[in-house]
Amino acid sequence: MSSSETLQCVDAALEYARRGFRVLPICPVRGCRSRTCKPGKHPMVGKWQECACSDPTQIRQWFSKWPDAGVGIATGTESKVFVVDVDGQQGEETLLSLMKTHDWNPNTLTATTGRGRHLYFCHPGGKVITRAAIAPGLDVRGDGGLVVAPPSPHVTGAHYQWVDADKPIADAPAWLAKMVTESKVKAAVSFQAQHTSAEDVVIQEGERNAKLLSIAGKLRAAGMGKNEIETQLMSLNNHACKPPLADEEVRGIAHSISKYPPRKSKASLATRRAEGNCLPYFPLYVNEWLADRDLLFMDAEQRGWYLCLVLESWKGAGTLENDTDKLWKLARASSKKTFERKQDAVLSKFEEVTDEDRRPILVNRVMEELWRVQHETWQKKVAAGNASAKRSKQRNEANAEGNPLEPAQAA
């Protein structure tokens, strides 16, 4: 790759396209007309996940329309690349700890960003997650994700730059490939399990059962079987619980959680919504929501918006449409402008993903899990109710035939 300083974004885009990357134009740092503009960060084209391409004619067209646009790369299977975004000091510290743990040196194509670094790796196949904060200060941009690439300008006045533009893109080491291709929950938990030592996480007596049960629930939801859950819990119990629970108890937790069916992740959101509304059966554990330490960093208005949005997300199985025009109303904000100004702290409680139809949605993972558990309980109650109604109807009919003078309900 040529040195970034001598390249315009359009030239860089054309070069990336030749390499097989799917590229797209990124909003210039002066900003654009979009109401939700984050200057220098977002794609200039709608439905970018479909529009990103390697076609020189299309690329020239984009950059003649927006000459000062930056260049983005759509990461994932088609570009055959994923990126680890190391954000700030915290990201560097996490990276260092991973390097020590795995005796590893990330010797691969690297770009400097406004606040940190982008490490490029060959796509390992399967589905690579796109997720913020997979570990402290580390984001992963995989399938369905994008990165702003050199020589795009950054709002700080700096430019994204290759550390060494000629460095080849390395294969991800096996542990990293595993970490980014496993299901999201598994990845988070396996990170937690790998890095759980006495100094890191301590689960105190009195919270051991609840904590392990909650983790077991996540593992089950991610599709793990009983034995796998048991292994993970045993390891966590030995490393983190002070003092550890008896092995028997841990096995009991793994056993009881395995009675729940794993999440049917294939079911579309629409189907899940159509399955019914169990809102009336939802106990709102106010304490649990208010014990969230992040609430300390919100002002009164933001806390109100947060609670409104979390409760609204219940109707969508823990999800909301990622559309500011709708969000500020759902949050009962006084105006869209106020909401936009202070929304970040609130929306950080939601994960940005796309649903099966590639529509942008926000997911609150806690609410999603609560919804799933409550929904199962509700369905069991409905089934039990139907069965009991059927039995009593049969009894009544039998009584009516046998002894027409006796009132049916006496049976």
**Rounded Cα gap, residues 371 and 353, in angstroms:** 18
Q: Which is nearer to Zn ion, 37 or 311 (CB)?
A: 37
Peptide bond before 151: cis, by omega within 30 degrees of 0?
A: yes
The strand pairing partners of 141, in sequence order, are: 83
CA distances for 153 relative to 21, 67, 159, 190, 240, angstroms? 20, 13, 4, 36, 44
Shortest spacing between CB 2 and Zn ion, in angstroms: 27
19 CB neighbour count, 10 Å cutoff: 15
Q: Which is nearer to Zn ion, 34 or 394 (CB)?
A: 34
Q: Which is nearer to Zn ion, 34 or 156 (CB)?
A: 34
Q: Which is nearer to Zn ion, 66 or 175 (CB)?
A: 66
Q: Which is nearer to Zn ion, 25 or 142 (CB)?
A: 25
Q: Does 66 bind Zn ion (CB under 5 A)?
A: no
Q: Are 29 and 153 in contact (CB under 8 A)?
A: yes
Q: Does 278 bind Zn ion (CB under 5 A)?
A: no
Residue whose pair of structure tokens reads 């926000």 in the numeric block: 362
Q: Are 254 and 237 in contact (CB under 8 A)?
A: no
Stretch 5-44 residues interacting with Zn ion (CB under 5 A): 27, 32, 34, 37
Q: Which is nearer to Zn ion, 18 or 30 (CB)?
A: 30
Stretch 181-240 residues interacting with Zn ion (CB under 5 A): none
Radius of gyration of the chain (CA): 26
**Residue count at the site for Zn ion (CB under 5 A)?**
4
Which string of b and e fits 58-69 if b means at least 16 CB within 10 Å?
bbeebbeebeeb
**Rounded Cα gap, residues 356 and 269, in angstroms:** 8
Q: Which is nearer to Zn ion, 27 or 129 (CB)?
A: 27
Could you tell me which of 181, 198, 195 has the C-alpha nearest to residue 82? 181
Task: Please report the beta strands in 228-272, taking only residues with DSSP state E, as ranges in sequence order.
Answer: 241-242
Q: Which is nearer to Zn ion, 27 or 73 (CB)?
A: 27
| Residue/partner pairs of 228-236 with CB below 8 Å, 24 or more apart | 229/254, 229/257, 229/258, 230/254, 232/189, 232/190, 232/193, 235/193, 235/196, 236/192, 236/193, 236/196, 236/203, 236/212
Shortest spacing between CB 38 and Zn ion, in angstroms: 7
Both structure tokens of 404: 């027409």
Shortest spacing between CB 152 and Zn ion, in angstroms: 13
Question: Which residues sit at the interface with Zn ion, rule CB under 5 A?
Answer: 27, 32, 34, 37
